[in-house]
Structures are given as structure tokens and as C-alpha cells.
Amino acid sequence: MKQFLLSTICIVCLFSFSEGQSEKYVKAMEQRIADMNKSSTPESWLETANGFERIAEAEKTQWLAYYYAAYSHIMRGYMLSNGKQGQDFSALTDPEADKAEALLAKAEALKKDNSEIMILKKMIATLRLSADPMNRWQTQLPIATEAMNAAKKLDPGNPRITLLEGQDKFFTPEEYGGNKAEGKQLLEEAVKKLEAQKPASSIDPAWGLSQAKYFLSQMNK
Amino acid sequence: MVKWMLLVACLFAGSAYAQVGISGKVLDNKKRPLKGVSITIKDSYDGATTDSAGHFSFTTTEKDSQLLVISIIGYTTLEQTIFIGSVKLELTLQMKEEISELKAVVITAGTFEASDRKKTTVLDPIDIVTTASGNGDVTGALKTLPGAQQVGEKEGLFVRGGTAAETKTFIDGTLVNNFFYSSVPNISQRGRFSPFIFKGTVFSTGGYSALYGQALSSALILESIDLPEQTSADLSVSVIGVGGGYQHLAKNKKSSFGLSYNYTDLRLAFAVIKQQQDFQKVPIYHTGDANFRIKTSKTGMIKYYGYFSSNQLGYFVNSIDTLGYLNGFGLKNFNMYHNLSWKENLGRKWKMNVGMSYTNNKDNIETALYNEGKQEVLLQGLEFKNFQVEQKGNYFNSKLVLERRYGRLNMIRFGSEYNFSQDFTDYTAYNNQKYKQTIKENISAFFAETDLYITNNLAAKIGGRLEHSAFFDQTNVAPRISLAYKTGKSSQASLAYGVFYQNPETRYLPGSGILDFSRATHYIAQYQKTGNGQTFRTEIFYKQYHNLVKTVSNGSTQVALNNNGFGDAKGIEFFWRDKKTIKDLDYWISYSYLDTKRDYLNYPMAIQPDFATNHTASVVVKKFVQKWKTGFNAAYNFATGRPYFLIQNDPGSGKPEFKDQGKTPMYNNVSMSVNYIPSIGKQNAKTFVVYVLSVSNIFNIRQVYGYQYSYNGYRKEPIVPPSRMFVYIGAFFSFGVDRTEDAINNNL
């Protein structure tokens, strides 16, 4: 009997908690997130993206893996556009936006009405918009605004909303509704919120602090 | 002991296997290393991404036969079975570039596209309305592109030695009749439709697809907008009229409807800007439109657009035929246009596009001689100057296109088109004698074409069209072929060949003999380089005309005699657009050289026609000053002189001959426009406003389009625009209804 029990436990071990999150999954994700937090080049963001996608496609039921894969492609897009402001860089960033959108759709199918997913939707629209603002603001701006509003509705306290709002306020030219002082204030608020945030688990979205601090450091220069 | 062992086995399950290393290199089809490729053992976490030398290396605990997945954006995903034993695996993998819309060459010979489809599109949709010399007209901006002539006395696009009638316009796939307002002697008329109802414009100056027919020279293919982004109301106020509209987007964002009405009244403008003509009835236009759009599936949509317009005008000019008298011209027009289209994905590989359009047009024209006291008079020998004519047209066009995708981008498209037209003319001479005639025509067409992507670098479009005309009882077969080859990362070369048929124009019918289609054969070679905000494009072309209509004079009108006319056109064109070199400044330069001759209508021999010149050039400049939220646009159009001539029948031989000939002076026009958009870029903006100021011919340069002759040929007068300069001031307001609601809901 005891042997039977033990064997049962073993089988449970071997089949790795097919429901919920297995230890292996959590560990792998933790490792990937640690790597992600060190990413600083388009290449490293792609490596991160591929890593998350691997986990996502092996698990198939974990929205977070798709979420992070999408996030990594978005960040790769931003990295690729660095220094190209004022040019049409859509050929470079649209494929990343497309890929991120496809991955995010899979995340959304697993996790409906999630504030974090809405935030990525907003970021994808912003990435598309920035590639060719003159021709795209009419189509992309409403998508970005709508996603942002949805994110707020679902979780008003999400610190990443404050981060993106601060970023938008700070980097948008004043004549288009930007405001440096307000932007800085929002980013400072975002830092406070990000420092105080309590993610539901070790692998739930918690990113943003280093970005907020980086933007603030750039401003104080 | 057993228990303990089992427990250990448990704990180490999944990680107790020996790790095996897998490494290797990934190459592209040209054996160059590929970086950023993801290597994954399917359904496991194990894998790696290749470095800049294409190398990868990782370890795995997976065993035995496994599927290795190799993927990267832009390449076909590779799956390879590997066997993992205890030895390190070393692999060399080669990937094939995916034929993808993003990378594949695009067939562009003869085509200018303004759409959001990027890559090879030369124009942005917004260019249609921000080109200074365009005057907010759909075809205005297109006249700054190579291939189009600067003809100012008549409406329409005169392309590569072709007449305006050789250009046909299509909205959502179906033919549009009466695209422009009804002709008025020597005054070019605007297009009927607002440029804001279109999201895509394709202007083909030759070699176009087999889907389109009955156009010897050019096709203007317009695609109407889809669902609006939000419910909104708009209002426009300008020196020439007022307008308003409402667009409603359903809550579920799956359907919309809209209505708009415009009233145009040129009294104010004409009071300030003196016109050549003495208008006793200043042009007044009532136009209204209605639309609905229903999303039937993820990609399917039904669209309806309906339009009506009623306008009238009347003026006097000094009679060229008899001194001291006036020539009066009056026009009343009613026009109605309906377009219904449905596009749908039928299963995974099939697509359907079906559309139909109906036009009803009625013109009432009155012309007569008047004395100085503006009383109608009948002068002996000039009785033919007094007449009335009523023209009624009923036009129906329908088209079905089925498209099947095969392979990655390859496509086969086929379908049919049916066109019905009925033109009724009721002519009343000075003595109340009536002449009535009706011309009915049915054209059926079948077409098929395929888009073939041999590689990302080489593509072909091969098609054909079969047409039958019931009126002429003639059938034609028109082959069309285009090729495109990518010569570099951002450059490509294209070739196009095609045969095009068109009916003789209804105005010359019924003819006095057996008539056939007119025919044009196009040969086009193009080189285009795009990238980094710059576009360079050059095209050479040769066009042969066969079976053009020859006419004989039947009193005061020309009637088709036979198809013995012919002609050709050849030329070279350049286009350069640069958004990069000067910061925030966008400009383009286009130049066309055209050498054309034709023998048609009553021409005594093949000559350069009066609508064609040898050199045409345009410079268009746009600058948007973000700080002021203001766009400044300027355009300069230049054309060398066009020939003019008087052809009369020799009294002796009865054959037509030149009585007078000459060339107009060069044409120069500088236009400017300023758009002030205070709400641009504002998020959650409730009102969106655009203020427009535009001035055509700001330097007040004298422009002569041609010469007209008195009936006896003794006198000639230059044809000049109604006013040298025109000033337009207007404001457009758009009130977003939905967004406001959203904002309120979110703040509650």
C-alpha cells in the first residue's frame, strides 16, 4: 500500500503537475525573467523572446510565457528603432510588432481581461505609431488610447500604467499634449508604485522599475 | 530501502538523465550565417538562439528521437528529426527564405499607389489632399506625377498621349461613369467625389491588370474607406459653401452608417474673384451621400455608397462668331450613383469580391446667341448656335472576382464583368426640330490572371481578358503580362506588356459604317529604388494605337466613320521623392518626356494632338511645422506648349485640311496651400479642426490652354482659365462622439 502511494506520488512528480504551474516551469520562468532583466540589446531581447516562446509552446496553457515572449519582441522593436527617430523604420519594427501581436493573442486566449495584456497592446500600437507617425497616428492612436483605457479599467493601480503615461507625457512634444514636468512627476510616482508593488507570484509581471529610473536619470542630466 | 530508492528516483525525475550537448550552425539559402534563429526541441524548454556567426549550442536532457524546430521571422520554419543518444550532436542547418509580402518584389510597372500598404507605394494617402495644386480634388495630386498632362481646359486625366476618355475610374472594383461634373466649354470640372472617402488610390499609367478593361491608356482604381474609427459628426465652412455629415459606428464596431450633405455656391467667390465668363447663374451644387458598411466576418465586409448631386450654371461670353453679340451657355445636371460591394474570405484559400454600381445622369444644355441687352436672337447663318439638348444616361456595371491563394503568396484570380449603358439624346434645333437617339450597349467580359512568386526576388503577373460588345458585335482578347525582379535590397526592375481595347466614344455614335474596338499595346520598363525616405523611379514606355476612330463632319458634329485611325506614344519619365535630406521637408520632382502622334477623328494625318506636350514637370514641396501644427504646401507645374490647329474640309476635295496651326506658350503654375491643424496628435481630442487656405497660380501668370476658332475660321481666341488666380479658405470640423463617451465612462 505504502509502495503504491509512493509510486503514485512519483507518477505525479514525473508528469509534472500538468495542471497549474509545475516547479520546472516556475524555475525556468524565473531564470528567463532574470535573463530578461539583464537584456539591453536587440539580440539579447530576441534570445529572451525565443526562450519564453519555447516555454510557451511546450506548456501551451501558460499565458505568462506568451506574455513575456510578446513583451520581449516589443522591447526588441524599441531597441531596433533606437537612433532612427524621424525616419520611417516600419520595415524594421513591423515584423516585431506582428510577432508580438500573434503571441499576445495566444496569451489573451488563455487569460481574458487582463490589465498587463492591455498594456502590451498599447505598447504595440505605440511601436507601430512611432515608425511612421504622420501616416499612422489616425489609426494607431485610437488603438493605443483604447488599450490604455481598458488597462486602467481592469486594474487602476497597475504601476506600469503610470510608467507608460509618464513616458508618453515626457516624450510627446509639448504642442501635441506632452508636458515634461508632468511626465517627470508621473515617472516619479511610477517609481514609488513599482517599488511598492507586490506581484502575485515570482513570475508575474513586475518590470518597469529600471526603465522608470533610467528615464529619470536621463532627465536629470 | 525500496522506499528510499523510489523517493530518490522521484526527486531526480526529469533532471537525473544525462545531459547531451547539441550545437551547430544555421545558414541561409545563400550559405551565409543567420543570426537570431531560434532552435528548439519541440515541446521542451531546451534550445538556443544563434549568434552573429550563426552558431548555437545548448544541452538537453531529452532522449531518443526528437523533433528540432528551427525558426526566425522571414524564413520558413524548419523541422528536423534528430536522435539524441549519449554523444554530442553537431548540426548544420540551412533555412529557406519565406516568400513573404514584406520581402517579396512587387509588380509596379506603370503604377503609382497611394495607400497604407507601404514598401513600394510612392504616395501616402494624405498626399492626395495635401498637394498644393490638387485643390482637394482626387485627380489633382495625380497630375503632379509623371505620365499625366497639364490640361486645364478639360477635366480628366490625359495619360501618355491618351485622351481623357482613355482613362477609366473604378471605385471598389466597379466602373464609375461621370466621375467628373458634366463638361462646360473651356472650364475644367472637378471630380464629384470627396477624396476623404477613399483610403487607397492606384493610378496606373499603363500595363494594368486584366481585371480592368475598356480603357486604352490608364486606370484610376479607388478603394473606399472601411468602418470609421468612431462615431463622429463633421462640418465644413468655406468661401464656396457649407457641408455637414454624420458617421455612426455601432457599439460592437461591426457596422456603420453615414450621411452627408454639401451645398456649394460660388456667388461669394465670383464676386471677389473676377471670372472670364459673365455668370448670370453662378454655379450652385447640392450634393449628398449616404453609406453603410457591415463587417460580415473577420475580413469580410459589405459596403454601400450612394451619391446624388444636382447643379446648375449659366453664363455669357462674347461671341467669337459675330461681334457685338453674346454666346449664352446653360447647364443643369442631375447625377445619382450607387455602389454596393462585398468582399469575403471563403474558406482558407478562397476570396471573393463582388460589386455593382449604377449611375443615372441627366444633363440639360442650352446654348444660344444673345444681343447686348441679353435677349435671345436668331442670326441668319448662325442658327446652329441656338439649340437645346437633353442627355440621359443609365449605366450599370457589375463584377465578380474570385481569388484563390496557392503556395505562400501565389494567387489565381478570375471572374467576369458585365456593363450596361444606355445613352439617350434629345436634341432640339433652333426651329424646334427634334432629333432623338438612344444607344444601348452591353459588354460582357471574362478575365483571369495569376500572381506568381518564383522567389522573393522574381514575380510575374500573367493574365488575359475576353470582351464582347453587343452594340458593335465584336469580341476581343487582351493578354497582359508584367514581371518584377528585385535587383537589390531596395531596388527593383519591372517590365509590362499588355493589349487594351476600348469602344469608340458614344459621342461619335451611331457611326456610318461597321465599327470595331480601338486598341492600344503597351510596352513598359521600369526601375525603382526606395528606402530610407527616398524614392527614385524611372520608366520608359512605348504605346501603339490601332483602330482609332476616324470621323466625318455631319453638319456641326463629328460622326464615327471607320477604325482606320492609328498612332503611337513613347517617352521617358522620372520621379524623385525625398523626405530625408532636409529635416521635416518632403518634396518630389517629376518629369515626363512624351513624343506622340496620332491620326484620329478628322485629323488630315498623324500629328501631335492638342492635348499632348513634349515636356511636363512638377515640383511638389511639403513642410509640416510641428511647433505651429501647420502644414505648408507648394507646387510648381510646368509644361511646354501644346499644338493647336483648325481643321476644315477643303471645299474642293471635301477632305479635311489644316487652315491654321500653332503652339501655345509654355504653361507655368505655382500653387500654395496652408493647413492649420490645432488638434493634431491630441489624445482624446473631442474636436478635430483643419483650417485650409489655398491659392492657385499665386504669381498670376497668364496661362493659355489653346485657341478656339470662329465657325468660319477667320477669328481665333486664346482659351484661358476663368480666373487667373483662385483663393480658397475653409474650415473643417470633426466632432468625435464616441471618444467623449469613453472618456466620461472612464472618469466615472
Task: List the single residue in A with minimal CA-CA distance to B3.
Answer: A3
- Asked which of B65, B94, B123 is the last residue of a domain, the reply is B94
Judged by a CB distance cut-off of 8 A, whether residue B13 touches chain A is: yes
Judged by a CB distance cut-off of 8 A, whether residue B479 touches chain A is: no
What pLDDT does B677 receive? 84
Contacts of A15 in chain B (CB under 8 A): none
List the one residue out of B335, B310, B289 whose CA is nearest residue B196: B289
Among A7, A16, A173, beta carbon nearest to B14 = A16
Task: Report whether the peptide linkage leading into residue B678 is cis, meaning its omega lies within 30 degrees of zero.
Answer: no
Domain count, chain B: 2
Q: How far apart are CA B89 and CA B86, in angstroms?
A: 9
Q: Which helix (H) or strand (E) holds B388?
A: strand B387-406
In this predicted structure, the answer to whether residue A14 has a pLDDT above a threshold of 60 is: no
Question: Which 3 state secondary structure label does DSSP give A76?
Answer: helix
What pLDDT does B738 receive? 47
Q: Is residue B104 part of a domain?
A: no
Q: How far apart are CA B587 and CA B130, in angstroms?
A: 12
- Asked which of B28, B61, B94 is the last residue of a domain, the reply is B94
Task: Compute the average pLDDT of residues A81-99.
Answer: 84
Q: How far apart are CA B636 and CA B146, in angstroms?
A: 14
| Contact check, Cβ <8 Å, A135/B125 | yes
State the ipTM, two decimals. 0.83
What pLDDT does B120 receive? 59
Q: Is residue B82 part of a domain?
A: yes
Contacts of B225 in chain A (CB under 8 A): none
**What b-and-e string marks burial along A137-168, b requiring 16 or more CB atoms within 10 Å of the CB?**
beebbbbbbbbbbbbbebbeebbbbbbbbbbb
- Do residues B491 and B445 share a domain? yes
Q: How far apart are CA B632 and CA B152, in angstroms?
A: 24
Answer for the pair B706, B685: CB distance below 8 angstroms, yes or no. Answer: no
Q: Is residue B77 part of a domain?
A: yes
| Contact check, Cβ <8 Å, A176/B583 | no
Judged by a CB distance cut-off of 8 A, whether residue B97 touches chain A is: no
- Asked which of B94, B124, B150 is the last residue of a domain, the reply is B94
- Do residues B378 and B351 share a domain? yes
- Do residues B356 and B477 share a domain? yes
What pLDDT does B298 receive? 84
| Contact check, Cβ <8 Å, A55/B3 | no
Distance from the A9 Cα atom to the nearest Cα atom in chain B, whole angstroms: 8
Q: Is residue B105 part of a domain?
A: no
What pLDDT does A2 receive? 52
Distance from the A88 Cα atom to the nearest Cα atom in chain B, whole angstroms: 7
Q: pLDDT per residue over A130-182, tens digit each? A: 888 877 877 888 889 889 999 999 999 899 999 999 988 888 777 677 788 88
- Do residues B271 and B336 share a domain? yes
What pLDDT does B539 receive? 96
SS3 content of chain B, % helix, strand, coil (to 5): 5, 60, 35
Ordered DSSP codes for B410-426: EEEEEEEEEEEEEEEEE
Provide CB contacts within 8 A for B296, sequence distance 6+: B302, B342, B344
Mean confidence (pLDDT) of chain A: 85
What pLDDT does B741 receive? 40
Residues 498-537 of B with CB under 8 A from A: 532-533
What pLDDT does B685 receive? 63
What pLDDT does B110 receive? 77
- Do residues B90 and B117 share a domain? no
Q: Is residue B582 part of a domain?
A: yes
Low-confidence ranges of chain B (pLDDT < 70): 1-17, 102, 115-121, 680-685, 737-748
Judged by a CB distance cut-off of 8 A, whether residue A6 touches chain B is: yes
- Domain boundaries, position B28: 18-94
What pLDDT does B49 receive? 93
- Do residues B174 and B44 share a domain? no
Instruction: Report the CATH number that the domain containing residue B58 is assigned in CATH.
Output: 2.60.40.4130
Among B624, B682, B746, beta carbon nearest to A152 = B746
What is the bridge-based pairing of β-strands B350-370 and B326-346? antiparallel
Q: pLDDT per residue over A46-89, tens digit each? A: 999 999 999 999 999 999 999 999 999 999 999 998 877 777 78
Contacts of A17 in chain B (CB under 8 A): none
- Do residues B352 and B471 share a domain? yes
Beta bridge partners of B556: none
List the one residue out of B556, B532, B320 whose CA is nearest residue B429: B556
Contacts of B125 in chain A (CB under 8 A): 135
Among B6, B533, B583, beta carbon nearest to A6 = B6
Instruction: Report the CATH number that the domain containing residue B202 is assigned in CATH.
Output: 2.40.170.20
Task: List the single residue in B with minimal CA-CA distance to A89.
Answer: B532
Judged by a CB distance cut-off of 8 A, whether residue B580 touches chain A is: yes
Among A24, A47, A135, beta carbon nearest to B14 = A24
Among B13, B124, B684, beta carbon nearest to A14 = B13
Write the CA distances from B692 to A136, B50, B140, B249, B734, integer angstroms.
21, 54, 16, 27, 14
Ordered DSSP codes for B702-738: ----EEEE-TTSS-EEEE--SSS-EEEEEEEEEEESH
- Do residues B640 and B723 share a domain? yes
- Do residues B142 and B73 share a domain? no
- Do residues B23 and B138 share a domain? no
What pLDDT does B6 receive? 46
Write the CA distances from B156 to A114, B140, B191, B433, integer angstroms.
54, 10, 8, 33
Contacts of B46 in chain A (CB under 8 A): 54
- Do residues B40 and B140 share a domain? no
- Do residues B381 and B528 share a domain? yes
CB pairs A-B closer than 8 Å: 112
List the one residue out of B519, B534, B473, B527 whose CA is nearest residue B495: B527
Task: List the single residue in A with minimal CA-CA distance to B228.
Answer: A139
